[in-house]
């Protein structure tokens, strides 16, 4: 565990991100749980904890400075990405973690319990069937296309100042030319993830 702490601290320094010791402890604890549960539950294709720090933790929290609002829903969260790392680094915000698979929600409830995360709410449900409040931010990391995200999640966004935050690899130029009526592009942020030699972008959309 101490090696992971050292690696995380180094990665955070590279990204110029400042966190408390408790936040670092929670992030490493989450990686440790992900690694243990992965053997039985197959939650992620990333097998090594050291790679999880780069591909899951840092890949998630570099988005934090670009988020606006206090109430977010992470749709298709899987094992809690990017929602859990973001909830750890943004303790004053609330995150609903939405996934349709029971084993992932069971894992997230255990994460919530073991790490003492009072600002996450794991919910087993398909995005298009979720009913309830609207959110300042609708976050997705694994949706196939912006079209699908908007089709299934449009009802989740607050009508005033609501935003869609789509984590992408390369800029989805073609998808951006096909945005549905009533949706406009706010901006595309280029993200830099230490030790990750792949493109990362954040596409921010809003309801007009």
Is residue 122 in some structural domain? yes
Count other Cβ atoms within 10 Å, centred on residue 126.
12
Quote the DSSP letter at residue 154. G
In 10 A of CB 24, how many CB atoms?
A: 17
Ramachandran quadrant class, 145 (left: phi over 0; alpha: psi -120 to 50; beta: rest): beta
Q: In CATH, what number is assigned to the domain containing residue 129?
A: 3.40.50.150
Report which of 75, 64, 69 is spatially closest to residue 138, judged by C-alpha positions: 75
Q: Where are the alpha helices (DSSP H) in 42-132?
A: 49-52, 59-61, 83-89, 102-115
54 inside domain = no
What's the count of helices (H) and strands (E) in the chain, helices before strands? 8, 7
Expressed in angstroms, the distance from the first to the final Cα of the chain is 47
Is 128 marked as a binding-site residue? Answer: yes
- Look at the chain and report how many structural domains it folds into: 1
81 annotated ligand binder? yes
Enumerate residues 6+ apart whose C-beta is below 8 A from 194. Answer: 11, 14, 15, 54, 58
Q: Say if 100 falls within a structural domain.
A: yes
Whether 29 has a binding-site annotation, put simply, is no
For position 134, what pLDDT does the model report?
A: 96
Tell whether omega for the bond before 123 is within 30 degrees of 0, i.e. cis. no
pTM of the model: 0.96
Give a yes or no: residue 36 inside a domain: no
Question: Is 34:56 a contact under the CB 8 Å cutoff?
Answer: yes
Confirm whether residue 71 is marked as ligand binding: no
Domain assignment present for residue 50? The answer is no
Q: pLDDT 10s digit of each residue in the chain, 208 long? A: 579 999 999 999 999 999 999 999 999 999 999 999 999 999 999 999 999 999 999 999 999 999 999 999 999 999 999 999 999 999 999 999 999 999 999 999 999 999 999 999 999 999 999 998 999 999 999 777 999 999 999 999 998 889 999 999 999 999 999 999 999 999 999 999 999 999 999 999 999 8
**199 inside domain:** yes
Joined together, the tokens standing for residue 166 give 């789509």
Q: Which residues contact 155 (CB under 8 A, 6 or more apart)?
A: 134
Strands 201-207 and 94-99: unpaired
Q: With respect to residue 18, please indicate whether it lies within any of the assigned structural domains.
A: no
Asked if residue 28 lies in contact with residue 56, where contact means CB atoms within 8 angstroms, the answer is: no
In a domain, 6, yes or no: no
Is 132 annotated for ligand binding? Answer: no
Question: Under a CB-based contact definition with an 8 Å cutoff, are residues 64 and 39 in contact?
Answer: no
Domain of 96, in residue numbers? 60-207
């Amino acid at each position: 565990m101490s090696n992971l702490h050292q690696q995380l601290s180094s990665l955070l320094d590279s990204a110029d991100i400042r966190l408390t010791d408790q936040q670092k402890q929670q992030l490493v604890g989450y990686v440790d749980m992900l690694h243990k549960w992965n053997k039985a539950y197959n939650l992620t294709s990333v097998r090594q904890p050291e790679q999880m720090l780069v591909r899951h933790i840092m890949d998630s929290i570099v988005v934090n400075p670009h988020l606006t609002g206090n109430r977010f829903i992470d749709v298709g969260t899987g094992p809690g990405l990017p929602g859990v790392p973001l909830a750890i680094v943004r303790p004053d915000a609330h995150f609903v973690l939405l996934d349709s698979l029971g084993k992932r929600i069971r894992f997230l409830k255990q994460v919530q319990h073991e790490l003492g995360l009072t600002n996450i709410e794991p919910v087993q449900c398909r995005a298009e069937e979720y009913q309830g409040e609207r959110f300042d931010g609708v976050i997705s990391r694994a949706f196939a296309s912006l079209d699908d995200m908007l089709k299934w999640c449009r009802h989740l966004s607050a009508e005033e100042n609501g935003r869609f935050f789509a984590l992408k690899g390369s800029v989805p130029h073609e998808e951006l030319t096909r945005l549905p009526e009533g949706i406009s592009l706010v901006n595309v942020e280029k993200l830099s993830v230490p030790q990750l030699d792949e493109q990362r972008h954040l596409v921010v959309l809003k309801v007009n």
